[in-house]
A and B are shown apart, each in its own frame.
Chain A
Amino acid sequence: MTNEPALNGMALTERDRSEPLLRAGNSNCGGCGMSSLLQMLRRAAADRELKLVVPACCAAVTGGIFPESAFSIPTIMSTFASAASVATGVASVAQLNGEPTRVICLAGDGGTYDIGMGTLSAAAERNEDILYICYDNEIYGNTGGQRSSATPAGAWTTSTPLGKQKTKKDILGIMAAHRIPYAASVSLAHIDDTLRKLQFALDARGFRFLHVLSPCPTGWKSEPAMGIELVRLAVRSGLFPVFEVFDGERYLINVEPEFSGEALMMYLSLQRRFRDSGVTEENLRPNIERYWNYLRLMSGRIVPARRDI
C-alpha cells in the first residue's frame, strides 16, 4: 500500500485549497471521479502553464455559467466532436509563438470513444502536442445516462434498459495503434501512479493520451463515498488494467492485480447499474482473462513480477 498515502492521497493540501484547478462551488455531483482527477491534475501540473479544451460533456457543465469560471485556467468549450481539433489549433499557435503552454483536452467517454473518435484519431496521427485526458464514466452523463461504446457489458443505462450486451471498446489498444508517444490508463485509487503519469504526460511532447476510470455515482447508482473504492476493486479484479504504452510498442503493466473474484463480485454488487442485467462474476471472467493474456503478450511479462494492490 506504499503508493496510497493517508486518505488515499486525496486529502487537500493547502495549495489545493488556495489555488485549485477546479474551484469550490462547482456543480459536479458529490463523489464525481472527474473532480478527483482535476484535483490530481492540479497537483501534477504545479506551475506549468495550462490551457483547457472541453467538449460537450459533464465537464462542460462543471465549467460554470457565464461569466463565472469554475476552472482556474483559460478554457474553451468546444462542440462535442471537436476537442482534439480545437486543441490542435491552440497548441499550434502556442508552438508558433514559442510558448511553453501545455494544452489539455478533458473529454468524456462519449466525446472520445464515440462522436470524437475521428477527431481524436486524426490529432493522434498528426502527433499534435496535446495531452488528451478521457475521464471515462462509462456513460453519457450530461444527457442523463445513455450507453456509450465505453459502457461495459451488463450495465443498465437509460438507452439499454435490459443491460448493455456489447463489451467495452479497447481505447488504449486503439490509441497504441496510432503509435503515439504515450498512452496510459489511470487508476484514481493509485495516487502515486496517477501523479507520476500526469507529470510524465504533462512534460512529454507530441500526442499523449490518458484513460481515467471515473466513478459516477449518479450514473453508476453507487454511493458517492465509494467511488475510489470501486476503482480499487476494478483494478484488483483485473477488470481495469493499469498500464502504459510508449510509442505504441512498449507496454508496461503498472499494477499487478490479484484477479480477486471477491473484488469483482463486490464491484458489481456495489453499483445498482449491474443489478438487473444478470451479469455475474463468471460472465466477466473470460473477457478479463482474454484481455490479460493479450496484455502479457504485449508487455512480454509472462509471469507477474509484483503483486502490489
Chain B
Amino acid sequence: MPVDLISANHAAALAATLAGRANRTARGFCSGVYPITPSTECMEYLCGQQIEKGKVVRADSEHNAMGICIGASASGARSFTTTCSNGLAYMVENCVAAAGYRLPIVMSVANRTMGPPWNIWTDHGDSLLMRDLGWLQLYSADNQEVFDTVLCAFKLAEDPRVMMPALTCMDGFILSHTTAQVEIPSQEQVDRFLPPTKIPHRLDKVAHTLGQIETPHQSVAHRLQHHQAMLQARQVYAEIQDSFAEIFGRRPADPLVGYRTEDAETLIVSMGTLGVTAERVVDQLREQGQAVGSVRVRMFRPMPDEELRRFFSGTKRIAVLDRDVSIGFGGVLWGEVRGFAEPATIVQNYMVGVAGGDVRPEHMLNLLAELEQRQESGAPQIVEVV
C-alpha cells in the first residue's frame, strides 16, 4: 500500500474524501465546513478535492456547517465535517439535532481548549462536551489511526444497527499538525469497505416528518432505541475491524488499547496521545522491574465497559490521566471509568496536560511515584506540567 507523509488533519480529510467518492454510485457526498484552529487544515484540504458527485459548502458558521450536513445526510448523502473548541460549542445545538434524526454524519475534531481566555492548545474538554448527545466518540493516537478511524467511523455510523453520528478526535497540533507516514488505500479498496450509504428514514418520496414533536413516552422509546443501538456499536465495531483487516491488510486498533497489561499491578489510563507517552513510561518502569501497564481509551462512546472491567480486574493501583477538567468534579474520564475498578483498587485521578500542557515521561513518572505512596484514593488532582 502506498505510504504518504501527511498531517493527521489531512489524513482525516483524505479518508473523508475517499469515503465521499465511494458513495458516487449512490446519493453522493455533501459537507458543510467552517475553519477553526487547529482543525482548519482538514476543511481546507477537503475544499481542494474533486469529489465525483460531491459538494463541499463553505458555510458561514459551524452551526450552519452542521445544518448543511444534516440536510445532506437527511437526503441520503454521505456527510462529513470538522471543527473543535468554540466551533464545536457553537455547533452543539445542531449536533443534538443530527443525533436526534439518527443521521450517520462523521466529524473530525482536533481537540482544543475552550475559551475565552483564548487558548489554541489541546484539551479534550471540547469533544467531551458532546459526551451525552448520542454521538459515537473515538480518540486516536497517531496519524494512521486517525485515517483508519475516519473510515471505520463511516462504516460504524452507517451500519443499520447503529445509524447515528460519529466523532473522531485527535489531539490538536500534537497530531493535527504533525506530519507522519500514513498508508493510503486505493479508491477501489475503500469502495469495497464502504458500500453505498443507505439511510432508510431519509427524505424521499413518502411524506413523513423528521424531527417533529413527540410526547414523553415516544421520546423515551426513541432514547431507548438510540441507547441500545449505541451499545450495539461495540459488537459492530469488532466486525468492522475484521472487514477492515481483510480489505486493507491491517487491523484497526481496539476500543481499548492495552499495553503490557498482563500481570500489571499498576495501570495508567488515558486518551489520545497521552497514551503514547504512557506506553514509553511503562517500558521504562518495566525495565526497572515494576509491573506497570497502560490502557488507552480509544472508544469513549459507547464506553467499552466489559473490556474495562477485564483490564481493571486484579489491579492494585490505577492512575487515570485526564486531559480535561470538569470543574467542580474532577476528570471526565476518571468519573467515567472509576466505577469499573474493583473496590480494593486505588483509583487516583490526575488532570494533566490540561489546556495544552506538554506532558513528558518525567511528569508521568512523578505521578506514578505519588500513586505508589498512596494507601487510598484521594481527591482528583489538577497537575501543572512545566
Contact = CB atoms under 8 A, between A and B. Distances in A.
Interface in B56-73: 57-61, 63-65, 67-73
A37 to B, nearest CB: 18
Contacts of B97: 78-79, 82
A77 B74 contact: no
B64 A122 contact: yes
Q: How large is the interface on B (under 10, 10 to 19, 20 to 34, 35 or more residues)?
A: 35 or more
B213 A89 contact: no
A89 B70 CA distance: 7
A93 B81 CA distance: 16
B71 A86 contact: yes
A86 B67 contact: yes
A206 interface: no
Contacts of B214: 65-66
A73 B57 CA distance: 26
A121 B60 CA distance: 9
Interface string A48-92: 000101000000110111110101111111110110111111111
A121 B32 CA distance: 16
Contact of A96 (B54, B63, B207, B210): B54
Contacts of B77: 89, 92-93, 96
Contacts of A277: none
A96 B68 contact: no
B235 interface: no
B353 to A, nearest CB: 34
Of B28, B57, B64, B75, which is in contact with the most chain A CB atoms at under 10 Å from its CB?
A: B75
B208 A53 contact: no
Contact of A69 (B54, B70, B212, B218): B212
A77, A93, A94, A122: residue with the most chain B Cβ atoms closer than 10 Å: A93
Which of A71, A81, A88 has the most C-beta atoms of chain B within 10 angstroms of its own C-beta?
Answer: A88
B315 interface: no
A92 B54 CA distance: 9
A143 interface: no
Contacts of A53: 71
A58 B54 CA distance: 34
Nearest to A118: B60
A85 B59 contact: yes
B207 A88 contact: no
Nearest to B75: A93
Given A79-B67, A82-B67, A63 B213 contact: yes
B28 A93 contact: yes
A76 B71 contact: yes
Interface string B342-384: 0000000000000000000000000000000000000000000
Contacts of A77: 209-212
A121 B77 CA distance: 25
B213 A66 contact: yes
B206 interface: yes
B254 interface: no
Contact of A88 (B61, B71, B73): B71
Contact of A92 (B68, B208, B209): B68
Contacts of A61: 213
A36 interface: no
A82 B97 CA distance: 11
Contacts of A63: 209, 212-213
A226 to B, nearest CB: 29
B263 to A, nearest CB: 52
A221 interface: no
Interface in A6-45: none
B68 A88 contact: yes
A97 interface: yes
A90 B74 contact: yes
A79 B59 CA distance: 16
Given A76-B101, A76-B203, A96-B77, A90 B72 contact: yes
B36 to A, nearest CB: 17
Contacts of B218: 65-66
Given A92-B55, A93-B28, A60 B213 contact: yes
A126 interface: yes
- Residue in B70, B206, B214 with the greatest tally of chain A CB atoms within 10 Å: B70
A299 interface: no
A93 B206 contact: no
Contacts of A73: 207
Nearest to A90: B71
Given A86-B67, A97-B28, A64 B203 contact: no
Given A60-B212, A74-B207, A122-B59, A93 B27 contact: yes
Nearest to B211: A77
Given A51-B203, A75-B207, A122-B60, A85 B53 contact: no
B94 A96 contact: no
Contacts of A66: 209, 212-215, 218
B50 to A, nearest CB: 14
B71 to A, nearest CB: 2
A199 interface: no
Contacts of A60: 212-213
A78 B67 contact: yes
B93 interface: yes
B209 A64 contact: yes
Contact of A93 (B59, B76, B207): B76
8 contacts: A63-B209, A75-B208, A81-B63, A85-B64, A86-B70, A89-B68, A119-B64, A122-B59
Nearest first, the 9 A-B pairs at minimum CB distance are A89-B71, A85-B67, A122-B60, A85-B64, A93-B75, A89-B72, A82-B67, A77-B211, A86-B71
Interface of A: 51, 53, 60-61, 63-67, 69, 71-79, 81-82, 84-97, 118-119, 121-122, 125-126
Given A75-B210, A76-B74, A121-B60, 16 more contacts: A74-B206, A74-B209, A76-B71, A77-B212, A78-B70, A79-B67, A84-B64, A86-B67, A89-B75, A90-B72, A92-B30, A92-B68, A92-B71, A97-B53, A122-B60, A122-B64
Interface of B: 27-28, 30, 32, 53-55, 57-61, 63-65, 67-77, 79, 93-94, 97, 101, 203-215, 218
